[in-house]
Amino acid sequence: MRKPILAGNWKMNKTRDEAIHFLLSVEPNLPKDGVEAVICAPAIILRDLVKRSEVIHVGAQNMNENVSGAYTGEISPVMLKDTKVEYVILGHSERRAYYNETDEKINLKIARALEYELKPIVCVGEVLAERENGTTNKVLKTQIEGAFKDIVISNPDNIVIAYEPVWAIGTGKSATSAQAEDACKYIRELLANLYGAEVSDKIRILYGGSVNTKNIDELMSMPNIDGGLVGGASLKEADFITLCKGCVK
Ligand code: PGA
């Protein structure tokens, strides 16, 4: 019922030429249906990707919550909309850690993204100390309730959550499929409390954190995992294709 998503988060990687090369070699080899392939690329190459992509959906990695104004270096929702970008990652742990993004700020960004018909990929997840002291669910509850405070969801198909335990990102140490499923299931329960089960059942929840071609099948066998948000492995053409194929249930 929920169409899986394989979203590549390229972070601060790939020049325009590298990105176009990737697109041309990957697109003909992607599954024809059963998965939505997304690339979240650096802002400066988004327009090139939007123009050239035929299969891959294009997303940004961040967005300012304001529409315009004196915010040097920032990109507004109006600009992303004008670029015909479809998705935007919000609240990635690197943004939270290095750029002080709070749940309040992420909440404003989600509201603005929806206002401009951009589909948010909202990232949540605990750090290692929180996992170890047993507060993972408490952290997820605070993050989800904070991010979605007063947010009206009129189309659940347009909302994506990514559960990304911070200790698993870029470390090669993925969560086990059971840990990932537990967290994604809990996130779905939190969403059901906020919006009702019917809405919650339609929202795609991805797992992210050292997803690779070896663990994708097991992760995807879990009932509440609807795809992956993938950093490192999404940069490699062959891996991206394998990961997309692995998402077809
Ligand atoms: P990773 O990154 O796949 O390299 O662990 C995931 C992410 O940060 O979204």
pLDDT of residue 1: 85
pLDDT of residue 85: 98
Residue nearest to atom 1 of ligand 1 (CA): 231
* Contacts for 133-142: CB closer than 8 Å, 24+ residues apart: 136/165, 136/183, 137/183, 137/186, 140/183, 140/186, 140/187, 140/190, 141/190, 142/103
> Does the predicted TM-score (pTM) go above 0.85?
yes
CA 68 from centre of chain: 24
Instruction: Select from 5, 40, 163, 169 the residue to mutate for testing ligand 1; criterion: most ligand atoms less than 8 Å from CB.
Output: 169
Token digits of residue 147: 């991010």
Per-residue pLDDT of the chain (249 residues; tens, 9 = 90+): 899 999 999 999 999 999 999 999 999 999 999 999 999 999 999 999 999 999 999 999 999 999 999 999 999 999 999 999 999 999 999 999 999 999 999 999 999 999 999 999 999 999 999 999 999 999 999 999 999 999 999 999 999 999 999 999 999 999 999 999 999 999 999 999 999 999 999 999 999 999 999 999 999 999 999 999 999 999 999 999 999 999 998
Distance, CA 207 to ligand 1 centroid (Å)?
A: 10
Residue nearest to atom 6 of ligand 1 (CA): 231
Token digits of residue 29: 């080899």
CA–CA separation, 140 vs 165, rounded Å?
10
Can you tell me which atom of ligand 1 is nearest the CA of 174? 5
Q: Is 189 a catalytic residue?
A: no
CA–CA separation, 238 vs 66, rounded Å?
38
Neighbours of 42 (CB within 10 A): 17
pLDDT of residue 135: 98
Domains observed in the chain: 5-246 (3.20.20.70)
Q: Is 92 a catalytic residue?
A: yes
pLDDT of residue 249: 83
Can you tell me which atom of ligand 1 is nearest the CA of 94? 8
Distance, CA 70 to ligand 1 centroid (Å)?
A: 31
Query: If you ran DSSP here, which 8-state letter would residue 235 be given?
Result: G
Residue type for position 101: E
